Amino acid sequence: MERKPFSDLWQNKNARRLLLVIVNTLLFFMVYRVLLYYAEMTDETFWSALVMGLYAAVLLAFVLAYLIYNRFLYRRGVTADQLPDTMTDEEKQAFIEDGRARLEKSKWMMVVILPLVLVFLFDAIQLFILEPFFK
C-alpha cells in the first residue's frame, strides 16, 4: 500500500474536518479543565457553574442552529419517489438538491458540536465512573 503525502491528505475535506474536530476537542477540553481547575483553586462554585453553563449554552446554540438551518433534517435521505405527485420533476430535484446543499454547507458546525459533546462526555466519565472507582 502506497503512503500518501500529507499534502494530498490535507486536500481531502473529510480528513481536514477530522483533524479540526481532534484539535478543537483538545483545545476545548484543555480550556474547560483549566477554568474548572481555577474555580476549584479559588474555591468558588460560581465559576464552575459559569464555565459549564457557558459550554452548554454554546453547544445548545450550535445544535439548534444546525437543526434549524437543515430544517430539522426532514429532507435527509428523501428520494423523488417519496415526494408528492403534485411536484414536477424539476421541483423534486431542486428539493432534494437543496437538502444536500444545506447538509454540506452546515458541516462546519459539526467541528464545534462534536468537540463540545466529547468534552461533556469526558467530564461525565470522569465524574461518574473514574472518581467513584478510584476513591
Which amino acid does the sequence have at 116? Answer: L
Q: Residues 78-90: pLDDT tens digits?
A: 999 999 999 999 9
Q: Are 32 and 127 in contact (CB under 8 A)?
A: no
Q: Residues 3-30: pLDDT tens digits?
A: 666 666 667 888 899 999 999 999 999 9
| pLDDT for residue 57 is more than 80 | yes
Name the grid cell of 60.
Answer: 445548545
pLDDT at 1: 57
Q: How far is CA 47 from the centre of its chain?
A: 25
pLDDT at 4: 64
Average pLDDT value for residue range 39-66: 94
Beta strands in 1-135 (DSSP E): none
pTM value? 0.85
Name the grid cell of 91.
Answer: 421541483
